[in-house]
C-alpha cells in the first residue's frame, strides 16, 4: 500500500512539474509562433499562414526601432555602472569588516524588497524637487539604483565562497594588491559578476514601472509596447521578443558550456 502511494505521489509530482513548465513555456511559444503569422491586424491572434516577411520588416516601424535602441543603450550603460559598483560593494561586504556593515547589508536587501511603484514614485519626487530634466540619463540612474542590490548580492555570495588562502598564496609569492585582485580574485568571482551583469541587463531592458515614472519624452521598448496595446501590437514585436529570447538562451548555453569546461 505504501509503495502504491509512493508511485502515485511521484506521478503526481511529475505531472505538476510538467504543468508548471508548460505554464512558463506556453507564452514564449505563442510569441515565437505569431512572429511567423501571415496576418497583420489589431490583435494578430488568428493564424493565417507561415511567413518570414516580418523578419525582413523588423525595423519598418521607426518608433519601435527607436524605442528598442533606447532600451539597449540604457540597459548597456546601466549594466556597466551597476556591475562596477556592485562588484566593489559585494567584495567589501563579503570579504571585509567595517563600521556600518550591518546597515549597508540592510539597505541592500531593503532595495530588493522595495516595490517598484514606491521606488519609481520616490525617484520622480527626487528628480522633480532637484529640477533634474527627465531623459535617458534619469532612466539610467533609476535602473542602476534598482538593479545594484541584485548584483551586489550575487557577487557577495561568490566572494563568501572563495578560499582566502588563494589570495594569501599570491601575496606570499610577491604579488601586490592590484596583481592579486586582477590575477586571482577577479577570475574567481567572475561567474558571479557575469551572472549579476546578465540579471542587471534583463531587469533594465524589461522594466516598465520605474521607467514610466522617470522618463521624459524618451520611449523604451516596454513603454512602446504598453502604449501600442490600444491600437494593436504589430507582428514585429513578436519578432523582436523572439530575437531577444534567443540571445538570452544563447548566452545561457555559452555560460553552461564554459562552466562545464572549468569543472
135 lies in some domain = yes
- The CATH number linked to 148 is 1.10.3720.10
173 three-state secondary structure: coil
* pTM above threshold 0.75: yes
Mean pLDDT within 183-189: 82
Instruction: Please write the tens of the pLDDT for every residue from 112-145.
Output: 888 889 999 999 999 999 898 888 999 999 999 9
Structural domain for 150, as ranges: 62-233
Dist. CA 12–CA 258, nearest whole Å? 35
Residue 96 confidence (pLDDT): 79
97 three-state secondary structure: coil
7 lies in some domain = no
Total domains present in the chain: 1
Residue 179 confidence (pLDDT): 80
240 lies in some domain = no
Residue 263 confidence (pLDDT): 62
Helical H segments across 161-216, by residue range: 164-172, 177-180, 186-206, 209-214
Dist. CA 49–CA 39, nearest whole Å? 8
Position 160 confidence tier, pLDDT thresholds 50, 70, 90:
confident
Amino acid at each position: 500500500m505504501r509503495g502504491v502511494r509512493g508511485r502515485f505521489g511521484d506521478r503526481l509530482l511529475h505531472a505538476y512539474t510538467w504543468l508548471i513548465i508548460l505554464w512558463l513555456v506556453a507564452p514564449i511559444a505563442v510569441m515565437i509562433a505569431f512572429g511567423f503569422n501571415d496576418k497583420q491586424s489589431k490583435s494578430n491572434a488568428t493564424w493565417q499562414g507561415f511567413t518570414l516577411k516580418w523578419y525582413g520588416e523588423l525595423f519598418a516601424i521607426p518608433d519601435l526601432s527607436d524605442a528598442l535602441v533606447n532600451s539597449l543603450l540604457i540597459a548597456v550603460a546601466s549594466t556597466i555602472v551597476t556591475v562596477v559598483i556592485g562588484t566593489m560593494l559585494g567584495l567589501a561586504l563579503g570579504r571585509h569588516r567595517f563600521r556600518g556593515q550591518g546597515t549597508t547589508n540592510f539597505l541592500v536587501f531593503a532595495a530588493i524588497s522595495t516595490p517598484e511603484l514606491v521606488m519609481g514614485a520616490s525617484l520622480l519626487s527626487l528628480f522633480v524637487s532637484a529640477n533634474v530634466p527627465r531623459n535617458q540619463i534619469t532612466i539610467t540612474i533609476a535602473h542602476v539604483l534598482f538593479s545594484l542590490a541584485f548584483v551586489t548580492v550575487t557577487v557577495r555570495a561568490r566572494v563568501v565562497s572563495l578560499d582566502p588562502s588563494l589570495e594569501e598564496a599570491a601575496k606570499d609569492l610577491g604579488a601586490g594588491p592590484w596583481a592579486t585582485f586582477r590575477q586571482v580574485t577577479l577570475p574567481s568571482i567572475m561567474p558571479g559578476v557575469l551572472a549579476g551583469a546578465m540579471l542587471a541587463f534583463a531587469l533594465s531592458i524589461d522594466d516598465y514601472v520605474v521607467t514610466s515614472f522617470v522618463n521624459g519624452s524618451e520611449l523604451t521598448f516596454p513603454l512602446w509596447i504598453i502604449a501600442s496595446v490600444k491600437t494593436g501590437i504589430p507582428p514585429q514585436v513578436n519578432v523582436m521578443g523572439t530575437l531577444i529570447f534567443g540571445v538570452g538562451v544563447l548566452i545561457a548555453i555559452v555560460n553552461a558550456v564554459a562552466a562545464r569546461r572549468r569543472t
